[in-house]
Every structure is written in structure tokens, then in C-alpha cells.
């Protein structure tokens, strides 16, 4: 038996396109950056292939879109759903801080190597190297704070999708957010603590997919591969 058919609600994770800080790996939380021209192209290419009537993300099946209120994510939303053939009504779109990027605090704009070097100079991390999943960010968020806001988002999404697990109504949801917070979201979707090792990658402009096994709200899952819809 298949774990999923077309009626099972899905959650699509859309990472924003490239920014100048994405290119060199600087920690980007609250800093407002535009997409680069390449970042716009990344999102536009994803949209052309995957977003639209009869495509993987079919606007007719999307009941809610949650967008981080940073400039780069709002631009990404615009390029994902800005096609003239796509109609997304205002009431389906929510800007929410609950899915904004991890607050990096004192580490904003730094590279991981710079953070580790600074902490070493101050005599920190003598037994274990700094790990954001476990240690959080000085002057920013802890893993527990991130967990609480993501769990709040997940609860909202499950309330939306719970009545429609067998296709009673289309109930797909889209998140437009950031690289690290979306990986955190996957862990919490599956019920894992943030510091549990689970190596994941999500390219700028990419789409990830979550859903449920056997139409069961109590069996959240993620796709390691999914066939793409095609027109007959």
C-alpha cells in the first residue's frame, strides 16, 4: 500500500533564494537583505517547474501560505506565486515571526569559523565544539525558544489539516522561510529534539516536502523522493 495518495495534505518548505550573505555562509537572521539576481533566477526557475495549476504546488490545493516577514522571504514568495496564471487570495497568506530565521544574536553576520575561534579565545567549548543546535546563540535564541515557536506553527498546521486527512478538502500548506529554521522545522515535525543529529541540506530556492503516512495525523513524515505530477 502506498504511504500517500494525492489527497493526503502536504506541507511544502520553500527556502528563500540566494543573498550576498548566503553566498559566503554568513549567519543571516534579522539582517534585511535582497535576493541577488541569481537568487531571483533560482526561485523563478523553481516556480516555473513546480508551482502552478496541475503542478507539484497547485494553488488550487493550497489553503494557507505562511511567510517569514524578512525582505528576502517576501521577495521569494512574490517570485514563487507571482505568475499571472496563479491566484492567491490575501486571506490565505500570513506573515509570521514564528518561522523567521534563528535569532543569531551576537553571531549575526559572522562565519561559523569566526564564531568558533572567538569562543575558543574566551575559553569556551573546551570539552565540545560549539553546536548551534545544542548551544544556541549568545545574545540570541536558545534551541528551546526556537522549539517553542516552531511547535506553535506545527500545531496550527495540524489543526488546519486534521479534518482533511482523506481528501475531504484540499489542505496543502506552504512555508516560505530560511535554511536553518526550515531544517529545525523538519526535526520538530518528526518529533525530534533540535540537537538530535540529522544531517539535512536545502539549497537556496529549493522545495522540501512533508506529509503524513497512511493518512494519519499521528504519523508525520518527510519525503526522500516524490514523483512529479505530469499532464496527460
Encode pLDDT of 93-133 as tens digits. 999 999 999 999 999 999 999 999 999 999 999 889 999 99
Residue identified by cell 522561510 is 177
Domains of the chain from N-terminus onward: 11-222 (3.40.50.1240)
Residues forming the active site: 16, 101
The chain-wide mean pLDDT, for the chain, equals: 93
Q: Is residue 189 a known part of a binding site?
A: no
Q: Is 102 annotated as a binding residue?
A: yes
> Hey, what's the cell of 213?
503516512
pTM reported for the whole predicted model = 0.93
Nearest of 65, 43, 35, 199 to residue 133 by alpha carbon: 199
Q: Report CA torsion sign: 93, 95, 98, 103.
A: positive
Measured distance CA(123)–CA(126) in Å, rounded:
7
Q: How confident is the model at residue 61 (pLDDT cuts 50, 70, 90)?
A: very high
Burial class (CB in 10 A: 0-12, 13-18, 19+), 199: exposed
Q: Determine if residue 103 is labeled as part of a ligand binding site.
A: yes
Give residue-wise pLDDT tens across range 64-101: 999 999 999 999 999 999 886 788 888 999 999 999 99
Amino acid at each position: 500500500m502506498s504511504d500517500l495518495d494525492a489527497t493526503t495534505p502536504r506541507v511544502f518548505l520553500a527556502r528563500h533564494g540566494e543573498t550576498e550573505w548566503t553566498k559566503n555562509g554568513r549567519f543571516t537572521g534579522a539582517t534585511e537583505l535582497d535576493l541577488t539576481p541569481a537568487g531571483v533566477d533560482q526561485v523563478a526557475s523553481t516556480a516555473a517547474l513546480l508551482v502552478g495549476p496541475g503542478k507539484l504546488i497547485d494553488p488550487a490545493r493550497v489553503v494557507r501560505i505562511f511567510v517569514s516577514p524578512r525582505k528576502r522571504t517576501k521577495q521569494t514568495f512574490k517570485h514563487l506565486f507571482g505568475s499571472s496564471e496563479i491566484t492567491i487570495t490575501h486571506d490565505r497568506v500570513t506573515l509570521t515571526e514564528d518561522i523567521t530565521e534563528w535569532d543569531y544574536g551576537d553571531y549575526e553576520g559572522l562565519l561559523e569559523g569566526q564564531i568558533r575561534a572567538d569562543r575558543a579565545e574566551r575559553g569556551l567549548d573546551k570539552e565540545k565544539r560549539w553546536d548551534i543546535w545544542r548551544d544556541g546563540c549568545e545574545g540570541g535564541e536558545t534551541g528551546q525558544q526556537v522549539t517553542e515557536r516552531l511547535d506553535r506553527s506545527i500545531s496550527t498546521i495540524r489543526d488546519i489539516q486534521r479534518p482533511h486527512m482523506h481528501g475531504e478538502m484540499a489542505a496543502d500548506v506552504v512555508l516560505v522561510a530560511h535554511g536553518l529554521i526550515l531544517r529545525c522545522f523538519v526535526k520538530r515535525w518528526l518529533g525530534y529534539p533540535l540537537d538530535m543529529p540529522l544531517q539535512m541540506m536545502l539549497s537556496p530556492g529549493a522545495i522540501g516536502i512533508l506529509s503524513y503516512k497512511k493518512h494519519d495525523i499521528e504519523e508525520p513524515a518527510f519525503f526522500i523522493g516524490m514523483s512529479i505530477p505530469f499532464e496527460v
